[in-house]
Amino acid sequence: MISSFRKLAWWLLPCLLLSQAWAQRRREPLNPDEIDLLRDAAQDPEQRIKLFIQFARTRLVSLEQMRADPKTTNRAQQTHDLLQDFLDVYDELNDNIDTFVDRKAGLRKPLKTVIEADTEFQAKLRALKQSVEASKDEAEQYRFLLGNALDAVDGGSKDHRELLTEQEEAAKHKKK
């Protein structure tokens, strides 16, 4: 009995250590100030959505600044990390939109802002993709992630436009 317990313990210990290492590797894309702002806007869909747009925009601006700085070292890894942060924030934006839709919140006004931001994000990500085509060695470290970010924003843009159309139709029927 004790022998089998030891075998189980020796098997579980590496699994536990690996799961701890994985959990530590995953970064929080938001800083404490941003988390506080979101907490304060928890019940206000328009304000909360605007905050997520602002945070996503900040990640892309930081990415552009870092890439323009000739003193930047480990550009590929920093690009990867900032793209991952942008994608995490953008996913949270979409999760919040879904939550507010489930709560039957009126999102017509904030969705217009989201759609404008989607257009901006698409342009910035496409510009990044074009700029890295020349440096294929560096781009290999984040090409997949950049493709995921572009796909997420393209799909999000389409979904946001459809949702806005649905919300406008629902508002028309409500007025009648």
100 phi, psi to nearest 5 deg: -70, -30
pLDDT of res. 18: 47
How confident is the prediction for the chain on average, in pLDDT? 86
Amino acid symbol at 99:
T
Mean pLDDT on 54-59: 98
pTM, two decimal places: 0.81
Rounded percentage of the chain residues whose pLDDT exceeds 70: 83
Inter-residue contact 167 to 111 (CB < 8 Å) = yes
Say what the pLDDT of residue 34 is. Answer: 95
Q: What is the pLDDT of residue 52?
A: 97
